[in-house]
Chain A
Amino acid sequence: MHRLLAVLLLAAAAAPAAAAGVDPATPEGLAALIKLIDERQRNQGDWKALCYMEAKEKGKTDVVSELLVYRRDADEKQMFLFTKPKAEAGKGYLRLEKNLWMYDPATGRWERRTERERIGGSDTRRGDLDESRLAEEYDATFKGAEPLGKYQAWHLSLKVKPGVDVAFPQVELWVDQATQNILKRQELALSGKLMRTAYYPRWKKVASPSKGGEVWYPEEMRFFDEIEKGNSTLVLIKEIDLRPLEANLFTKAWLESRSR
């Protein structure tokens, strides 16, 4: 019953896009497009991904890591567990009740960190690997249709809704007209200064048993620091598994046990 409802909701949200094509120039079409972007990426159940991360920092050696990302969106739980390199293996982040904790196996200590923590010192943040909540967090305006490389894109401008806390109060989005996938995202500071640009050149979909439909995810993400030019991070999602995870997985004890 729940699955059927979810499918119906998704179909309703995607209706304008699926039927006569999305028209973000109208307020209804724009709202539908934002909802569609969220819905296509949303999964009803658990989420596990094997990620490869390559962080480049100006004047420093590149840092390459491999990590497992776990999500249970219904409870807003999330976990990162580094598996490579050896020096970082066992290090992890655990998000519980909107608190982000970091575990360092070298000291055996947990430290509470800010939600906007840069994961593993890279340009990636926890939110980059969380579910999309654009409709909940931002009010959108349509800026126009414009080419982005070989793609035809819609340019949307998002401003944070009053009373909502986000890392970037203003976001510029370029959405592929053909697939409704995000191609480029620019994040601006409160001052209006451009802080980070992200590119999503490859998207993939995977069947979700819990959702009863498809879940889209960016297979490749490239983040560029616009303040410290020369710093960038590449994230590749190599494997996705949407089967239910262990019930007690999102606990400090579980992460510690994997770190030993």
Chain B
Amino acid sequence: MLLVDLQVAARNLTRHTRRNLFLGAALASVTGLLVLLGALTAGIEGSMMESATTLLTGDVNVGGFFKVTSGSAAPLVSGYPKVLELTRAAVPELDYFTVRGRGWAKAVSDSASMDLVLGGVDIAREPAVRRVLQPLGGTLDELAQPNTMLLFQGQAERLKVGVGDVITLSAPTERGVNNTVDLRVVVVVKNVGIMSAFSAFMQADTLRGLYGLSPEATGAIHLFLKDRGQANLVAARLREEFQRQGYRVMEPDPQPYYMKLFQTVPSEDWTGQKLDITTWEDELGQFKQFIWGIKVFTGLLVFILMVVIVIGILNTLAIAIRERTREIGTLRAIGMQRRKVLWLFVLETLLLGLGGCAFGALGATALAAGLNAAAIHVPEAVQLFLSQEHLTFQLRLGAAAQDVLLLTLVTVVASLGPALRAARLKPITAMHHIG
């Protein structure tokens, strides 16, 4: 029975080709746009996450600040072996961890200078760095040597240096004494998103030397969990545990540590050590807001388009019913129930919506795949907003299917009104209808 209904609905659709093609194309365009915007947002989020979890943050971070005077601040955890021991005992969800030095310095080459957010690494214990970073020159293993540095491609270009060249880092120690260190660039790697514009790695002990730190001091312990979804839970538990052990712990503040270092912490009136437990979402605070902004913009755009589509559907169906009034009258006269008339009209719209939306989603998928393959270079100024070096669309089948179903549903709901009007027509009135 359903098959017969479907056949009838499909035949009706093909009888009004021009009108239905127009409506189908509109639906396809909106679905395509929705899928493309979703894939772009997912691409930006993906690049951001990849670069953030490689460069800046674990799923949960046990970091902190040390203030010699209330007006100064250094991003460090003193006596970290004990902190690490407590952390490992309190986090059974832990997959692996890395110990990272943190710092900020001015990098100066013979021809240029730039500010860098530094990560002091023990490269042998950095599986994510090895997995994600792709050397363009030199080798990552060299970073195990003292006085060595890893630069990203963009930084190397800006400083006009290559593998083997020497740059000077200049920074104040935790006591405010100016210090410098000359470092040999041992590896230049491909950029990984916006954060690679200002983050660089150096050997951990060299970073300690630059800031005059003891071997028992580090910047942060990055914890990578078996399930990233547990990050907030683990962070809250760690805050409680460290407070119980007598550590001073900072209030949660969703900002990257370097923003706290320059803005909030130096203004706070305390001295000594405080721990700062953060999640990857905290460290990506501003970037997450940016993503949220894009999503709101996408949502608004889609809403406006949906309103246009709904008006289009209402109009088109109203015209269709007017044109087919005599036909409806005849069908009703030969015994078709009102419910059946309603069903046929809804079925027609369902077919039209499903077909148009699916076509739009397929078209957008093909277009996104083509654009990915073309690896279109994003201008440097736009890279800041998109977090991407090349325009990347992350296609997710589930999200595309969801978009298709949503728009089809909207179409069907919009058709209910006109379909009900058609079903209410009296056979005699409908058969006498002229026009």
User: What does DSSP make chain A's interface, helix, strand, loop or mixed?
Assistant: loop
When the two chains form their complex, are residues A228 and B113 in contact, meaning their CB atoms are under 8 A apart? yes
**What distance in Å separates the Cβ of B70 from its nearest Cβ neighbour in chain A?**
6
> At the interface, is chain B mostly helix, strand, loop or mixed?
mixed
A114 adjacent to B178 (CB under 8 Å): no
Interface residues as binary, B169-184 with A (CB distance below 8 Å gives 1, 0 otherwise) = 0101101111111100
Cα A102 to Cα B334 in complex, Å, equals 88
Q: How far is the CB of B112 from chain A (nearest CB, A)?
A: 8
Residues of A within 8 A of B263 (CB): 111
**A116 at the A/B interface (Cβ < 8 Å)?**
yes
B270 to chain A, nearest CB (A): 12
Q: Are B178 and A116 in contact (CB under 8 A)?
A: yes
Q: Shortest distance in angstroms between A20's beta carbon and chain B's nearest beta carbon?
A: 38
Question: Contact between B176 and A114 (Cβ–Cβ < 8 Å)?
Answer: yes
In the complex, whether A193 has a CB less than 8 A from a CB of chain B is: yes
Evaluate contact between B71 and A167: CB separation under 8 angstroms: no
Minimum distance in angstroms from A108 CB to a CB of chain B: 15
B168 within 8 A of A: yes
**Does B363 belong to the interface (CB within 8 Å)?**
no
Contact with A along B254-271 (1 / 0, CB 8 A): 000000000100110000
Closest to A191 in B: B180
B214 close to chain A: CB less than 8 A: no
Known: A99-B69, A195-B170. A116 touches B181 (CB 8 A): no
> Considering the complex, which residues of chain B in the window 285-308 have a beta carbon less than 8 Å from any beta carbon of chain A?
none
Flag whether A112 is at the interface (Cβ < 8 A).
yes
State whether A166 and B168 are in contact (beta carbons under 8 Å apart), knowing that A112-B71, A227-B108 are contacts in the complex. no
The answer to whether B177 touches A113, judged by C-beta atoms less than 8 angstroms apart, is no
**Which residues of chain A come closer than 8 Å to B113, judged between CB atoms?**
228
Are B266 and A112 interface neighbours, CB within 8 A? Answer: yes
CB pair B170–A114 under 8 Å, yes or no, is no
Query: Distance in Å from the Cβ of A102 to the closest Cβ of chain B?
Result: 10
Task: Report the bound CA distance from A167 to B180 in whole Å.
Answer: 12
Instruction: Contact check, A191 vs B172: say whether CB atoms are below 8 A apart.
Output: no
The closest CB in chain B to the CB of A187 belongs to B178
Q: Give chain A nearest CB distance to B72 CB in angstroms.
A: 5
Contact B178 A168 (CB under 8 A): yes
A115 at the interface (CB under 8 A from B): yes
Q: Which residues of B sit under 8 angstroms from A116, Cβ to Cβ?
A: 172, 176, 178
Shortest Cβ distance from A98 into B: residue: B69
A246 CB within 8 Å of chain B: no
* CA A228 to CA B168, docked complex, whole Å: 10
Q: Which residue of B lies closest to A166 (CB)?
A: B177
Q: How far is the CA of A166 from the CA of B173 in the complex (A)?
A: 11
B212 within 8 A of A: yes
- Please tell me if the beta carbons of A189 and B179 are within 8 angstroms of each other in the complex: yes
Whole-angstrom CA separation of A113 from B353 in the bound complex: 61
Q: Mark A57-79, 1 if CB is under 8 A from B, else 0.
A: 00100000000000000000000
Determine which residue in B106, B168, B263 has the highest number of CB atoms from chain A within 10 A of its CB, and name it: B168
Q: Using a CB-CB cutoff of 8 Å, which residues 213-237 of chain A contact chain B?
A: 227-228
Instruction: Please determine whether A189 and B71 come into contact, CB atoms closer than 8 angstroms.
Output: no
Instruction: Verify B176–A191 contact, CB threshold 8 A.
Output: no
Closest chain-A Cβ to B182's Cβ sits at a distance in Å of 8
Instruction: Kindly state the separation between the CA atoms of A100 and B72 in the bound complex, as whole angstroms.
Output: 10
Measured in the bound complex, the distance between the Cα atoms of B357 and A191 in whole Å is 66
Interchain CB contact under 8 A, B180 and A193: yes
Check if A189 sits within 8 Å of B178, measured CB to CB.
yes
Interface centre among B68, B106, B178, B179 (most CB of A within 10 A): B178
Whole-angstrom distance between the Cβ of A182 and the nearest chain B Cβ: 20
B266 & A190 in contact (Cβ 8 Å cutoff) = no
Among candidates B170, B173, B176, B181, residue contacting A115 with C-beta atoms closer than 8 Å: B176
Among A115, A116, A187, A189, the most chain B Cβ lie within 10 Å of the Cβ of: A189
A189/B180 contact (C-beta < 8 A), A99-B70, A100-B71, A195-B170 known:
yes
Give 18 new A-B contacts, CB below 8 A, not counting A113-B266, A190-B212.
A98-B69, A99-B70, A99-B71, A111-B266, A112-B70, A114-B266, A115-B69, A166-B177, A167-B172, A167-B177, A167-B178, A190-B173, A190-B178, A190-B180, A195-B170, A195-B180, A227-B170, A228-B113
In the assembled complex, 26 residue pairs joining A and B whose CB atoms fall closer than 8 Å, in A order, are A98-B71, A99-B71, A100-B71, A111-B263, A111-B266, A112-B70, A113-B266, A114-B172, A115-B72, A115-B176, A165-B68, A165-B175, A165-B177, A167-B176, A167-B177, A169-B177, A189-B178, A190-B173, A190-B178, A190-B212, A191-B179, A191-B181, A193-B182, A227-B106, A228-B106, A228-B108
A-B pairs with lowest CB-CB distance, top 7: A190-B179, A193-B180, A189-B180, A99-B71, A112-B267, A112-B71, A189-B178
